[in-house]
Structure 1
Amino acid sequence: MCVYVVDDDPRICRLLARLVGLEGFEVHTFEKAAMFLENLTRLKFGHVILDIDMPEHNGLDVLDHILHQKPYWPVIIISGSTAMDDAITAFRRGAIHFLRKPFRRDDLRAVLSEARKVGVKRIAAYELQARVMQVKLTGRETQVLDAMAGGLQSKMIAWKLGLSIRTVDMHRSNILAKLSARNSSQAVAIARGLGLTQ
């Protein structure tokens, strides 16, 4: 898993690269926020450690850009400032943690561990959402799926919905294809996982 360090201080970048690398992460450093933002769309999934006290860019604006393009990426804010307003604003805008410089290695380790967990959950939710968006069931297919989830066989579904058994079987076949399922039980399980049925 990648960690991207965005800090205008080369010493902080080197220090964080070493410490984060010791935790088993692949690390990429950016001393200019503009360079990071320029490359953001091409970067693979990762966590961001972002300094909000950079002279060229307002770190909170950079945070907004990151979460606009990569809403599932965990962002950790670092700052030498003692102002609580910065931390509160960062959390409100979507940061998962705020570390005040100087910080201890144990604190960084704990925050990275939390970021890893948050990242795994967010990417799973993102993938689930992407799958839901790809699965486009018609209204009738949704009705047939709900009946399948209720344990009804084609004959009962046909009677309940006022359709022919052949039409129900056609809808069932379409549902299996759209959900990439081998059988009705698997289709119902996948649909429940995607939140398409109860």
Structure 2
Amino acid sequence: MSEQRLVHLIDDEDAVRRSASFLLKTSGYEVHAYASGVAFLKEARHPDPGCILLDIRMPEMDGLEVQRELNARGVALPVIVLTGHGDVATAVTAMKQGALDFLEKPFEKTLLLAALDRGFERLGRAGDAEIAGQEARVRIAALTPRERDVLRGLVAGNPNKTIAYDLGISPRTVEVHRANLMTKLDVGSLSEALRIAFAAGLHARE
């Protein structure tokens, strides 16, 4: 087995492909770059094992459509979504479809490499889903009902103001609950909190 870990980079921006490829190659990764989701799906009908860096906003076929097609084909490689638009709702949709993480462009090298480490760790532990779900449910159980309500709002992709309106509380109170639930879940980012929520089967309110 090759020492180099493979990253499938899918982004329609030439500058992003060049800079990200350089960053990854100098960090010890092998990179296969694609200018579109269509090109990736055509050229990599059965992708070699690795992580997928997938841009959300692309012509012809956006990242969510590429992800749905991968799911339909039974391709279970870890997907890290890239967005340059701060579109949390779209990133939440991607995570509901199985994405491991999302990063906003321009992304920091440390955050990208940390996300890839999690992706390759997942590749190496294919059978842990049930255990992860149990652990996630234990963590969610430690939250108060109101903190779970706020987390459901985040799962729905809603900003604090919308969550506050829906729950009939102030945005400041939502911020407090959000900070408390992040502490109780022992996470440092929204994407980590969402991963736990999805693993535990916590869904947005209808």
TM-score of the pair, normalised by structure 1: 0.59
Q: Which sections of structure 2, spanning at least 5 residues, go unmatched?
A: 130-206
* Displacement after TM superposition at 1:117 (Å): 0.3
For 1:37 and 1:52, locate their aligned partners in 2 and report how far apart those are by CA, in whole Å: 15
* Structure with larger Rg: 1
Give me the whole-angstrom Cα distance separating, in 2, the residues matched to 1:80 and 1:89.
16
- 5 Å-filtered alignment, 1:23-102, equals 23-102=27-106
Note the C-alpha offset of 1:2: 1.1
* Secondary structure, counterpart of 1:41 in structure 2: coil
Q: What is the aligned counterpart of 1:115 among 103, 108, 119?
A: 119
Cα distance in 2 for residues equivalent to 1:42 and 1:108? 24
AA in 1 matched with 2:42? E
1:20 to 24, 41, 63: 24
CA distance in 1, matches of 2:34, 2:116: 18
Which amino acid in 2 is paired with 1:77?
A: V
Give, in angstroms, the shift of residue 71 of structure 1: 3.5
Q: Which runs of 5 or more structure 1 residues have no equivalent in the other structure?
A: 126-198
Matched AA of 1:21: K
Q: Residue type of the partner of 1:69?
A: R
SS of equivalent to 1:94? coil
The TM-score normalised by the length of structure 2 is 0.57
Q: Give the superposition deviation at 1:87.
A: 1.3
Residues 76 and 99 of structure 1 are in contact (CA less than 8 Å); yes or no, is this contact kept in structure 2? yes
Cα gap change, 1:42 to 1:123, in 2 (>3 Å): farther
Identity of aligned residues (%): 31
CA contact (8 A) 2:70 2:76 kept: no
Matched residue count: 125
**Equivalent pair of 2:37/2:62 in contact (CA under 8 Å):** no
For residue 72 of structure 1, report the CA deviation from its aligned partner.
Answer: 2.4
- Greater relative contact order structure (CA < 8 Å, 6+ sep): 2
